[in-house]
Structure 1
Amino acid sequence: MLRFLVGGILNVAVGYGSYLILLHWFSYEVAYAIAYLLGIIVSYVFGALYVFRQPMRWRSALRYPLVYLLQFLLGLILLRILVELVHMPQQFAPLAVAVLTIPATFLASRTIIRMN
């Protein structure tokens, strides 16, 4: 799990850094899209080789974006629960969502990367 957290920090740094660099040449929407895709690639490579110590495979690489879809959908549900039912301030709810989705993201990443 510690390696997963280190990978997440690395991924945020690469994604955000890429976004800032790409803003020099592209609109913010295009820069965000490219940086997001780069983040998925970095996350897969780092996750496969360092976090879960598995060989990279085309099959798992093609499935890996499903982790991000799962993370987004789960995060959206949790965000609504925290804001609407728990009455957490909208400014802080995404931080709680990020922490709460770490276990699901870890398990989904591990499952997909380890699939043959």
Structure 2
Amino acid sequence: MTNLLKRLHEFSFARFLASGAFNTLATYALYLMLLNIINYKASYTITYIFGIFLSYFLNRHFVFKSTTGSRSILLYPLVYLAQYLASMGILWLWIDHLHFNEKVAPLIAVIITIPLTYLLSKAIFTKK
């Protein structure tokens, strides 16, 4: 089992999924707390901004072990702008038009946008 975990750790996509799971749990908990006091759009936006900072730290230091410095700081928000727009579209469709539960919709949006986020993050954090 230890050997398997060690091998998984060598793959950036496995580290990306692990850090993403941690980030998702942390931001989802914040989202649910904020839903008690503000609407889903504001809750999602605040949580999303917090998640960008957490994700940047995890991706730079744990997933890609990058030393790209200021280049990544400047480009990384563009990854999450793309993911935010895609996710907000999914939330809007699923909550306002399909009447799905607003507590579950962000989790579905994260799952759907994983490939987009990984590929854009990898492009930013890996040296060419």
Deviations 1:70-113 (A, max 9, x none): 11223355x39x86xxxxx5427945443221111100111122
User: Counterpart of 1:66?
Assistant: 78
Matched, 1:106 2:128: no
Q: What is the CA-CA distance between 1:68 and the residue it aligns to?
A: 1.1
State the identity as a percent.
35
Deviations 1:14-55 (A, max 9, x none): 33455678x6xxx6458x62x433321110111011111212
- The verdict on how the C-alpha distance between 1:69 and 1:115 changes in structure 2, with shifts beyond 3 A counting, is farther
Which 5+ residue runs of structure 2 have no aligned equivalent? 1-12
Equivalent position amino acid for 1:11 in 2 = N
User: Counterpart of 2:24?
Assistant: 12
Matched, 1:91 2:100: yes
Instruction: Count matched residues.
Output: 104
Q: SS at 1:64's partner residue?
A: helix
- TM-score, reference length from structure 1: 0.64
- TM-score, reference length from structure 2: 0.59
Let me know the Cα RMSD of the aligned residues. Answer: 3.6
Q: What is the CA-CA distance between 1:9 and the residue it aligns to?
A: 1.4
Of 14, 35, 39 in structure 1, the residue corresponding to residue 51 of structure 2 is 39
